[in-house]
Amino acid sequence: MDYRGVVLDVDGTVVRGDEAIPGALDGLAAVDAAGLDRLFVSNNPTKAPVAYEARLRRAGIDATADEVVTSGTTTTAYLADRHPGARTFCIGESGFRDQLRDAGLELVGPGDEPEVVVVAIDREFHYDDLRDANSALRSGAAFYGTDPDVIIPTADGDIPGSGAIINAVAGVAERDPEAILGKPSKVAQEFVLDKLDLPPEEVLIVGDRLDTDIAFGLDAGMGTALVRTGVTDDAALAASDYEPDFVLDGLGDIGRIVSK
């Protein structure tokens, strides 16, 4: 298959922390040599694309904010479209909260009759947040999550992600989110394909997670490549219902798929 575009997961695929994963720079060079358009697509909502640009550059990757999409990006765009200016109770970190404000959403406390509750990773998540989200949801607020990642890889090991907090809120409120808006959601698929302006069959997604990256690509009709540098090992791959088109030791091996 002659691919014209590539979607690259970030953590566990391209970088771990602020350092490029071994071989990743070679893989990105192969993507460039093949003339492919690229997007870095992360399920981490804590940083805006401009902050991701700086992070990738610290890792030696010449990226621009326009090449970055996060679950914060897709969630913010969706909420601004579906709930413009809504009173929004947010569990999330400052970088995500700033994106919501910049999109015109009104961030409010639990006593301000929230119309929307949106939940993301928050490393200062508190019992009070759980109590307040539950109150708003039981009063009829709409419920959204940024991404389903229960565990995320960092330079210091795997840590709980957005999915862990979303699941806690959902369990207490006894209701599921109306939508979780990062990978592998239809919203994220459409956002990414619109940005690349390519049909899905001409796009390859490369990532380390079966239930987000590979599921995203399979559902959208993209080519899929799993890398072994993140959270998925051979046992998980063998037990999974998701079957990637390619399995690579790392991004450095992508040249055998995309080289002309």
Which residues have C-beta within 8 Å of that of residue 70, sequence separation ≥ 6? 41, 42, 43, 44, 45, 47, 48, 49, 52, 182
Both tokens assigned to 239: 């037990």
258 vs 238: CA distance, rounded Å: 25
Which residues have C-beta within 8 Å of that of residue 127, sequence separation ≥ 6? none
121 vs 133: CA distance, rounded Å: 14
Among candidate residues 28, 74, 68, the one with its CA nearest the CA of residue 50 = 68
- The answer to whether 212 touches 244, Cβ cutoff 8 Å, is no
Active centre residues (catalytic): 9, 11
248 vs 226: CA distance, rounded Å: 6
Task: Give bridge partners of residue 179 from the DSSP assignment.
Answer: 144
87 vs 235: CA distance, rounded Å: 45
The label of the residue with tokens 């992360």 reads 42
196 vs 187: CA distance, rounded Å: 14
Give residue 106's Cα distance to chain centre.
Answer: 23
32 vs 26: CA distance, rounded Å: 10
